[in-house]
Structure 1
Amino acid sequence: MLLLTCPCCGAEADETELQPGGAAHLTRVGPGAPDEAFESYLFHRENPRGVHIERWRHAHGCGKWFHAARCTRTLEVFGTYPAQITAPPQPIRDAIAAKHPGWAWKEGK
């Protein structure tokens, strides 16, 4: 079972209380963007097994969005942080790098 701590209200919630929102830190394109940019945003994404930074909503709690860093192979959670932060905090990056030596945060995703 996946357990995440909501950084907004501090409650520990399992996945039945949460709503997934897909990959975090994506550059979203607007209505005026060229078709190629919109196609790339929708269909051309990395989806490796392993570490992901994802958006989650505490749907049956405070209702706020937050980000979670976790491994899809093991369900290990490295940490959560508010959705307003534009990159994973350094302690979360360090925790991931300690367990997955080849992992590196890609700025400007």
Structure 2
Amino acid sequence: MLLIPCPWCGDRDETEFHYGGQAGVPYPERPADLSDEDWGRYLFVRDNPKGRFEERWSHSAGCRRWFSIVRDTVSNEIVR
């Protein structure tokens, strides 16, 4: 089980959170110009590295706020 540090509520069990995917994915500058294929790539294709990865999480069973963490995908260690 993963222990996630919520910046507002402190350390909590991962069952209280909702995973939001890769952090830092910019919204398209001109969304009206994107093809269906481009939209599909924007919505569904993300990095899947082995090692440190910045992720978005929502404390859905607590303060309901979104925040980013850096987690090592091999060891599940939360780096920041």
Give the alignment's TM-score, normalised by structure 1.
0.62
Q: Which runs of 4+ in 1 moved over 4 A?
A: none
Gaps of 5+ in 1: 80-109
Q: Using a 3 Å threshold, how does the CA distance of structure 1 residues 33 and 2 change in structure 2: closer, same or farther?
A: farther
Q: Which residue in the other structure is 2:12 paired with?
A: 13
**Equivalent residues, number:** 78
Relative contact order higher in (CA < 8 Å, ≥ 6 apart): 2
Give the alignment's TM-score, normalised by structure 2.
0.82
Q: CA deviation at 1:18?
A: 0.7
Q: How big is the alpha-carbon RMSD for the aligned residues of Structure 1 and Structure 2?
A: 1.8
Structure having the higher strand fraction is: 2
Gaps of 5+ in 2: none
Partner SS for 2:32: coil
Q: Describe the superposition over 1:10-38 as per-residue Cα deviations: whole angstroms up to 9, x where unpaired.
A: 42111111111111100123751311532
- Contact 2:58 2:64 survives alignment (8 Å): yes
Aligned pairs for 1:15-54 within 5 A: 15-29=14-28, 31-35=31-35, 36-54=37-55
The letter for the 1-side match of 2:78 is V
